[in-house]
């Protein structure tokens, strides 16, 4: 499984609805720790998050990631 696939699985596994009923992932650990957990370098995690954000699938603000389009995120192809 590629790093992008592991990131997508991490996001989907750790997401839940927020008060506004949007799907959110609250990052409970520093990004360096999350990168280690999914087996990528911190730079790779940042690059993948930036790419998903620029494609409009997610929105990142501090320690929160909102999944804007879960269906498209699930169908995302190769990001690596």
- The whole-model pTM stands at 0.85
Q: pLDDT digit string (tens) for 30-61?
A: 999 999 999 999 999 999 999 999 989 999 99
Average pLDDT over every residue of 13-23: 90
The residue ranges of every structural domain in the chain are 3-74
Model pLDDT, residue 74: 77
Top pLDDT among 36 and 20 is at 36
Q: How far is CA 56 from the centre of its chain?
A: 12
Distances (CA, A) of 50 to 20, 21, 28, 47: 24, 23, 19, 5
Average pLDDT, the chain: 89
Model pLDDT, residue 79: 66
Indicate the class that CATH gives domain 3-74.
mainly alpha
């Amino acid at each position: 499984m590629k790093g992008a696939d592991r990131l997508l699985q991490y996001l989907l596994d750790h997401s839940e609805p927020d008060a506004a009923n949007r799907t959110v992932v609250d990052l409970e650990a520093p990004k360096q720790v999350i990168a280690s957990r999914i087996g990528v370098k911190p730079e790779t995690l940042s690059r993948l998050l930036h790419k998903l954000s620029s494609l409009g699938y997610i929105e990142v603000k501090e320690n929160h990631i909102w999944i804007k389009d879960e269906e498209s995120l699930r169908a995302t192809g190769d990001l690596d």
